[in-house]
Structure 1
């Protein structure tokens, strides 16, 4: 089971309260995006889910198990790919497997091929473009044994065209294995295009202001972003982000 439950989580750093009684869930096989202004505590939430921080109040549960303050229960892809420069791409993508069991290099090579990286399996990270390194980081997350993946603004450093291609690639890979994903982004279009649900956070401190279920069928095609209905959803979320309270 990979359902994540965040229950009444609060977190402060010194006198600054970052999160205030945040509650939400991500169901098994669901793709949920967290959307909020800069400094709204999105990354802090990820650090709490990953066990790097412990909440002041509340708890976190994965498949019914209390994972509050526990590391290694989720797979995490940060904004930068964080590949080890001394390891080949193949060695990097099996790292998560190595920590728990013997790596399946045949499966890893198959996934690299799906990512268009088969010919770079023996290359080193500095030999790849930013988008290619990010694809390798995704493959590593998908190969890791944890059933839940957190993605922290993984496309923020990419140009618009590469970003769209990466979004389509991510969805195509995700459709095949349907691991539960919690995705942080500042980009409204990205959140709508990728997600089953979008959670809009307030800031100072963060609370879940609004939860929106995205109605578009899967698989999703890039033409979707040009439709009138998509634009209406974008406007609605934009106004939600801009409004106070």
Structure 2
């Protein structure tokens, strides 16, 4: 299970209100993307879910259990791969599971094979390209025992071609495992292509000002981005974001 629910979340830093009565839900096995202008509070939401920050008001529940201020309840993948350079690829991907008990190295090898990295299992991060390092980080997230994954702009540092390849790869792996995912991105096309729902945040103090359900059948590929239906949704989200920035 991996159902996440944020109810009436308020967070201040000093006198500045970052989030005000934020309500957000991700259902079990659902892929949800968060879009919003820079500084709207997307990273703050992740830090609250991960227990790094404590909400001033409201509750955060994972599978109906309150997790306010608790660390270790979710798996988190940051913008950079954040691999330990002294650990091999295999040792890096089993780290999360290692911290919570005995890691399953056979499953880890299987996941690395699906990621096209089996031959790099005993290599070190410095021997991998940026895209390969991101694959390692995502496999590590999948192998962690937590039922929920937060992905914080994991492809933002990659070039456009590598980013597209990573999106396709992420979709193929996610569709097999179907973990619950909350994904932060600034890229509208990426959000639509990957997600079941897209949530648009307004300016601070942030709340969800628009929710868009993405009904395209899975599996999906990049050809979808050229269809009239896709472009209609992209335009709708773009105009919402544009209105936020203009205001």
- Scaled by the length of structure 1, the TM-score of the pair is 0.99
Matched, 1:106 2:106: yes
Partner in structure 2 of residue 88 of structure 1: 88
Q: What secondary structure does 2:59 align onto? A: strand
Give the Cα–Cα distance (whole angstroms) in 1 for the partners of residues 233 and 2 of structure 2.
28
Matches within 5 A, 1:23-172: 23-172=23-172
Residue 218 in 1 paired to residue 218 in 2?
A: yes
TM-aligned CA deviation for residue 229 of structure 1: 1.0
Distance 2:237 2:99 in 1: 40
Q: Tell me, what secondary structure is at the counterpart of 1:182? A: strand
Q: Does 1:237 align with 2:237?
A: yes
Cα deviation, 1:36-88, whole Å, max 9, x if unaligned, reads 01101000000000000000110100000000100000000000011001100
What residue in structure 1 maps to residue 227 of structure 2? 227
Unaligned runs of 5+ in 2: none
* Structure 1 position 177, deviation (Å): 1.1
Partner residue, 1:2: 2
Residue by residue over 1:189-216, the C-alpha shift from the partner in whole angstroms, topping out at 9 and shown as x without a partner, is: 0000000000000012111101110121
Q: CA deviation at 1:8?
A: 0.6
The structural deviation recorded for 1:95 is 0.2
| 1:175 alignment partner, SS class | helix
Gaps of 5+ in 1: none
Q: Distance in 1 between matches of 2:82 and 2:59?
A: 28
* CA distance in structure 1 between the partners assigned to 2:125 and 2:104 by the alignment: 20
TM-score normalized by the length of structure 2? 0.98
Per the TM alignment, residue 221 of structure 1 is displaced from its structure 2 partner at its CA by 1.6
What CA distance in whole angstroms lies between the structure 1 residues aligned with 2:40 and 2:65?
Answer: 27
User: Cα RMSD over matched residues?
Assistant: 0.8
1:206 is aligned to 206
Higher mean displacement: 13-22 or 42-51:
13-22
1:16 aligns with 2:11: no
Alpha-carbon deviation of 1:222?
1.3
Figure out how many residues of one structure are paired with residues of the other and give that number.
245
The 4+ residue runs of structure 1 with deviation greater than 4 A are: none
